[in-house]
Amino acid sequence: MIRILANDGIAPNGLADLEAAGFEVSTEKIAQDALLTELNNFDVIIVRSATKVRKDLIDASPNLKAICRGGVGIDNIDHEYAKSKGIPTYNTPAASSVSVAELVFAHFFGLGRFLQRSNFELRAADSSFDKLKKAYGEGREMRGKTLGIIGFGRIGIEAARIGLGLGMKVLPVDPYKDSETIELQFMDEQRVSVRVPTVPMDTMLAEADYITVHVPGGNLINAEEFAKMKDGVILANTSRGGVINEDALLAALATGKVAGAALDVFVGEPNPRRELLEHPKISITPHIGAATEEAQYKIGTELADQLKAHFGL
C-alpha cells in the first residue's frame, strides 16, 4: 500500500478521495527535525507552507516517490534537486487564486475606510465615539481609482477581475506577456470580455493608487520603487515575505508616501518583526491567503487527482 504523509494537513474531501483510491494517509504532524528519520516510512509527502523539503531530507528518504504542495509556490521544496533524483513535485496553482485575490481586496477596503483601526480603537474603554468618527471620516472609494498588479498570472488575473468589477483602471506588470483577456461573468450569466494590456513597471508605479504583488519571490519593491509611487498609495503583499522590502516600507509609511499596507506574508515567519505587527497603518493577517473552505476543497481534489494519476490509479 502506498503511504502518504499529509504533514501540514489536507481537506477532508482530499483525504477521503485518497483513501477511497487505496492510499494510506497519515495526517499526524511530524516535526521538521524528526522527518529526517520518519519520512522514509512514506512514499509521498504533502506539505503547505510550514514543512520544508530540502536536499538533506530528500537524501534521507530514498523511498520518496512524489512531493506535493497544497498551494501555489514551491519555494519551500528543493524541487529541482528532487527532480534530479526522479522525484516529481506537484502543486495546485489554480485552486486558491480567487481566495488570495479576495483577501487583497478585503485589506484594501479595510485600509481605505480605516476598518482595522476604528474597529480596534472603538472597543477601548476610554474611546470617544465622536472623536473616532471625526478621525476616520476621510475614507476613500475604490471606484475610479487605478490598480497596479505586479505579476499577471492566475492570482493577478483574479485581482484584475475584481478591480474591473469595481470600476477601477487596471495596470498589470509582467515581463512575460503583453496582455490578457479577462472575462467578467454576472449573476444573470451575462459575460463581458475585457482585454487588459500590461504596462512598464515605472508607468504602473507612477499612476497606481493601489498596488498588489503576485510573484513567487524576489526583492522587487525597495526605496527606489517607493520613490516612484504616488503619494498616499496603498499596497498589499500576499505572495512572499521580502518581495516588499520591510525597512523601505516602514520608511515610506513614516513619510506618508504610503498611506497603508496590507501584509499576509513576512520575512522571518512565523515570527514577524514587531514594528510591522504594531504599526497602525499596516493591516495584517497570518498567511491566510489560501485559507478558505472553497480553496482547501479545490486543493484537496487537485492533489488527490494528481496522485491518482501519478500512480496510475
Contact 285, 103 (CB under 8 A): yes
C-alpha cell recorded at residue 263: 501584509
- 274 a catalytic residue: no
Using alpha carbons, select from 105, 93, 51, 99 the residue that is nearest to residue 289: 99
**Active site includes 161?**
no
Distance of CA 45 to the CA centre of its chain: 22
Give every CB contact of residue 7 below 8 A, 6+ residues apart in sequence.
29, 30, 35, 45, 46, 47, 50, 51
d(CA 15, CA 39): 19
d(CA 217, CA 283): 21
**Is 28 annotated as catalytic?**
no
Are the C-beta atoms of 87 and 58 separated by less than 8 Å? yes
Kindly report the backbone phi and psi dihedral angles of residue 304, in degrees, each rounded to the nearest multiple of 5, phi listed first: -60, -45
**One of 80, 141, 269, 294 is an active-site residue; which one?**
269
Q: Are the C-beta atoms of 290 and 3 separated by less than 8 Å?
A: no
Record the cell numbers describing residue 216, joined without a space.
513567487
Taking alpha carbons only, the member of 246, 245, 248, 188 closest to residue 219 is 245
Residue pointed to by grid coordinates 504532524: 29
Write down the catalytic residue from 48, 107, 287, 302. 287
Catalytic one among 69, 161, 240, 279?
240
Whether the upstream peptide bond of residue 270 has omega within 30° of 0, thus cis, is yes
Q: Catalytic residues, which ones? A: 240, 269, 287
